[in-house]
Structure 1
Amino acid sequence: MLPIIGWSQSYVGTIGNYPIHLEVTSYPHEKDSTSGELDGYYFYDSKLISIPISGDFKKDKITLIDGYFFRPESVIDVDEVFQLTKKGNQLEGNFKLKDKTYNVVLTETQQEPLEDFRNPKLTFIKDSIVKYKDKQLVWFHEKYSKLPLFRLGNGFTKAQRAKFNPILDAIHLEDAKDNLDCNSWFEISYHINLVNDKFISYLKNYSIYCGGAHPSHGNVAYNFNLKTLDVVKDIESLYPKVNFFQKLKDKYQHLENDVQDEECETFVDDSYWTYKTWSLTAEGVLLIPNYPHAMSPCEDTYFLSYTELTNK
């Protein structure tokens, strides 16, 4: 366990001829503040992908390795190792990358590597246009993370574009930053379920592992009301008289009695449906229960037609 109190310092410089930014947080030992543990990240200025690092320091000597967890005995086995000496406001030494070694010179900076340097460089690049009758969704990718997302194009009103494209910009930007912060496994896919004169409704499915005990899998729904220019959070705001849990239970419970895993308990009570995910389609509504992380394999998609929703 690391001490609670630490301090961070940012550096800018080079590994060989490659410009980098590096930030480390130091956690001095309680009884000897000249030694302690370190964690942080660095990124190459040309890539902007954060690489996690951890290590220790003893007086002016610093050792950092790639990864979230540092053990002194692991230094000989890892692919990336910084061996640095602090000299005034600089860190000097070498960086071993597998069987190659590079000189390192880093200088303290007050610039925030992510907020001041990396994030302003993130850029959206236009890829393609997909037509939905008289409406166009324009697809972009972010230059460094490569993540895609669409914007509203021709066929949507000026007011609709002015309202929802900044929202899509913000979603795209946050996903790109999360991807660049996760130097591991980060996958996102999209299912656009409805584009018409009233709504845009789509699902974002993600599968992510950025360190820790388990990967994270799930989905996020976005539902835009083109008439009211609102982001619709709850399906109940569209169908206030419908008890969705009861409708789903009546339709599906008897079909699952013989096959449903008892641990899932999809229709035993409505607790897993309180924060359900939902998405509109041309024929009806897709609904997905929300389980605790350990029970995510229980998640399945259920469907209610518009006819079923309007029948009492």
Structure 2
Amino acid sequence: MLPIIAWSQSYVGTVANYPIHLEINSYPQENDSTSSEIDGYYFYDSKLISIPISGKRNNKNLTLIDGYFYHPESVLDADEVFQLTKKGHQLIGTLQLKEDRFNVVLSETQQNIFEDFRDPKLSFVKDSIVNYKGKQLVWFHENYSKLPLFRLGNGFTKAQRDTFNPILDAIHLEDAKDKLNCNSWFEISYNINLVNTNFISYLKYYSVYCGGAHPSYGTVAYTFNLETLKEVKDIETLYPEVDFFQTLKQKYQSTENDVQDEECETFVDDSYWQYKTWSLTPEGVLLIPSYPHAMTPCEDTYFLSYAELSKV
């Protein structure tokens, strides 16, 4: 008995006169080589936004609908339905978009449709400049995802720009690719908490739903040390003598709501503070505990001033 092996194939072609790329993964049925379950993505070359598809193959005929989950009865309610037939190295058929039907012709390609075609097209467009006492943050958006992020501009040294702008490029690019891969909602916003001669410190807030049972949301912190030219991952690097959990507990536990303490256990032990999020501000440090996904409503922001930290 030979094992049944899943396979993937990429295609390039058109829906009517609109160029598209499509990638499908096929999972053959046990003891039935004529049928398989299918999932994958396609995108219009003009938009580059991945649209998830799922479906079924019977012999050389494929039925694909938009969405992550396929059931035969869901074809009737789907907004997009591909009916395709494999002919040699091509898929030929139609795409039903609600009341409209378009011809589809797709040809096999060895090109990785994301890494080789889509990703090199992503680019950054300059939007605006914000001044922080002589230091400029230059804001850009990525052309297809429209997501924003800043770069270091005038007022920063060449070494600072050469070190941190490539890091910001990489962060921006990964966020853009993540959004283009997510055809539901993908929102990002920022708080720039500190820009001075020593540090840039900011928080990125995200709210994302790309299929599955629950959305994902949270906060990511970035702090760049402009003197050492390194990203600071742990606040303890800057304050090695401070036990942040005990310092926060001493300051806040008596004022915490008893019900919240019981439900969230913010200061019962330090487990929720092991992977805390933090950010520098002009007056002190913002700190946010990290909870499991189901307990993220427990997350709150706490503050320690530089004066309080100097006394520890």
**Which category of TM-score, normalised to the shorter sequence, fits these structures?**
over 0.9
Which residue of structure 1 lines up, in the alignment, with residue 112 of structure 2? 112
Q: Which amino acid aligns with 1:153?
A: G
Aligned to 1:103: 103
The residue number in structure 1 matching 2:30 is 30
Residues 1-40 of structure 1: pairs in structure 2 closer than 5 A: 5-40=5-40
C-alpha distance in 2 between matches for 1:110 and 1:261: 56
- Structure 2 unaligned runs (5+)? none
- Find runs of 4+ consecutive structure 1 residues off by over 4 angstroms: none
Quote the Cα distance in structure 2 between the aligned partners of 1:66 and 1:166. 36
Q: Distance in 1 between matches of 2:263 and 2:295?
A: 8
1:6 is displaced (CA, Å) by: 1.4
Shift of 1:257: 3.8
Q: Which residue of 1 aligns with 2:308?
A: 308
Counterpart CA distance in 2 for 1:261 and 1:43 is 47
Q: Deviations over 1:239-267 (max 9, x none)?
A: 00000000100111111143525221000
Q: Say whether the 8 Å CA contact 2:50–2:181 is kept in structure 1.
A: yes
Which aligned pairs between 1:140-179 and structure 2 lie closer than 5 A? 140-179=140-179
2:239 maps to what in 1?
239
Matched residue of 2:239: which SS? coil
Matching of residues 215-226 of structure 1 within 5 Å: 215-226=215-226
Indicate the percent of aligned positions where both proteins have the same amino acid. 78
What letter matches 1:304 in structure 2? L
Residues 4 and 30, structure 2, Cα contact 8 Å, conserved in 1: no
Q: Structure 1 length as normaliser, TM-score?
A: 0.98
Q: Which residue of 1 aligns with 2:188?
A: 188
Q: What is the DSSP-based 3-state SS (H/G/I as helix, E as strand, rest coil) of the residue aligned with 1:70?
A: coil
Match of 2:163, SS state, is helix
**Whole-angstrom CA distance in 1 between matches of 2:136 and 2:7:** 49
Q: CA deviation at 1:51?
A: 0.2
The corresponding residue for 2:290 is: 290
Q: How many residues align structurally?
A: 310
Gaps of 5+ in 1: none
What amino acid sits opposite 2:136 in the alignment? Q
Partner residue of 2:205? 205
| Partners of 2:285 and 2:168 in 1: CA distance | 22
* 1:185-208 superposed Cα distances (whole Å, 9 cap, x missing partner): 100000000000000000000000
Please name the residue that 2:50 is paired with.
50
- Give the letter aligned to residue 210 of structure 2: C
Could you tell me which amino acid in structure 1 is paired with residue 251 of structure 2? Answer: K
**Is the 8 Å Cα contact of residues 7 and 25 (structure 2) preserved in structure 1?**
yes
Which residue of 2 is the match for residue 139 of structure 1? Answer: 139
Q: Which whole-Å CA distance do the structure 2 matches of 1:304 and 1:47 have between them?
A: 45
